[in-house]
Every structure is written in C-alpha cells, then in structure tokens.
Amino acid sequence: MAIEHADFEGVERLTAVTGADLVSTFDHPELVTLGECDVVEEVMIGEDTVIRLGRCKCGDASTRT
C-alpha cells in the first residue's frame, strides 16, 4: 500500500512504526526498506476516516485520510 496526501508528521510516525524508509520517489526500489504490518484497515472515527495499521514491527499507528 502506498499512502498519498498524508501530513508529514503522520508519514514520519508510520515509517517509525512499520520500520520503513521515508522516500520522496520510488525510482530505485532496491535501495528502499519497505515497512511491514499485519493489519491495514480503514476505520470511521466520528466523521473522520483513518487508516489503521495494526501489529506493526514497532507498534500501532493511524493517519487521517
């Protein structure tokens, strides 16, 4: 999954919990460490939609979409 249009703080948090590299382009995928988690789900909290990543390498996180 690729995340587009997330705020920078959210992206930094997601890279930290998944163990991923933060990159601005994907020109050389062989040089990039991909993150991992077992659960990716879209959840409604009130009127906001969030993407929740669960059972990640270093914890759990979510970001508004």
Q: 5-60 pLDDT, tens per residue?
A: 677 787 888 888 888 888 888 788 899 998 888 888 889 999 988 888 888 877 65
Other C-beta atoms closer than 10 Å to the C-beta of 6 total 15
Q: What residues form DSSP beta bridges with 63?
A: 51
Higher pLDDT, 31 or 4: 31
Higher pLDDT, 21 or 4: 21
Is there a contact between 50 and 14 (Cβ–Cβ < 8 Å)?
no
Q: What is the pLDDT of residue 47?
A: 92
Is there a contact between 51 and 3 (Cβ–Cβ < 8 Å)?
yes
* pLDDT score of 65 more than 50: no
Q: What is the pLDDT of residue 44?
A: 93
